[in-house]
Amino acid sequence: SAGCRVAVWPCPLDWAQDTQALEECLRRVMAAAALLGVGSYKLSPWIPTAGLPETVPAEVGEKLGALATTAATLGVTLLLENHPAAHWCTAARCREILSAVEHPALRLAFNPAHFAQVGEKPFLSTWNRGTLKKYVSQLMIADGCGRRGWPAYTPPAQGQGEVKELMSILRCRSFDGLFTL
């Protein structure tokens, strides 16, 4: 379908337990996405953070690089979405993995709610003071809060995600990616 731009794949497999099965499953899904004309494919936060070191393991970068190469041959862009449950939960970790892979078929789905949930200020610090902007291909229109007792998710512009500011700066920069509700 020409209108379908992003697909999401919920991976039931554990990356650490069965990497071959995970990679083969992802390759089949990307091939199907390419056949259907899906241009972007958002990966689930399938790398658990429990027990991992503070830095992204080199093997993760290598595997994501290989997957990005496969995606490029199929004409699909892989999107990593920052998520509190993923190893790339903060701006620093997103930057680390994206710059380690540095492949045009691996991009960022920037989720302001998730950056707020891990205690970052998505516009004032994560965007303005960071280098993530060169990797962003999708802005999730999601808002939320990181303070205890506050809701994790809120309607847009009612949380700490600074969504209006992000949309405004992206429009000023002639952003050619997606705004996704």
Whether 126 has a pLDDT exceeding 60, the answer reads yes
**Higher confidence at residue 24 or residue 125?**
125
3-state SS string for 43-112: ECCCCCCCCCCCCCCHHHHHHHHHHHHHHHHHCCEEEEECCCCCCCCCHHHHHHHHHHHCCCCEEEEECH
CB 111 within 8 A of CB 83: yes
Q: Could you tell me the two tokens for 28?
A: 């089949």
pLDDT of residue 41: 83
Dump pLDDT digits (tens) for 41-98: 888 765 555 555 566 667 777 878 888 888 888 888 889 999 888 878 899 989 988 9
pLDDT of residue 146: 87
| Count of beta carbons in the 10 Å neighbourhood of residue 178 | 17
pLDDT of residue 37: 80
Residues 6+ apart with CB under 8 A from 43: 9, 11, 26, 78, 79, 80, 81
pLDDT above 70 covers a percentage of the chain that reads 81
Dump pLDDT digits (tens) for 11-36: 544 555 556 676 677 778 777 877 88
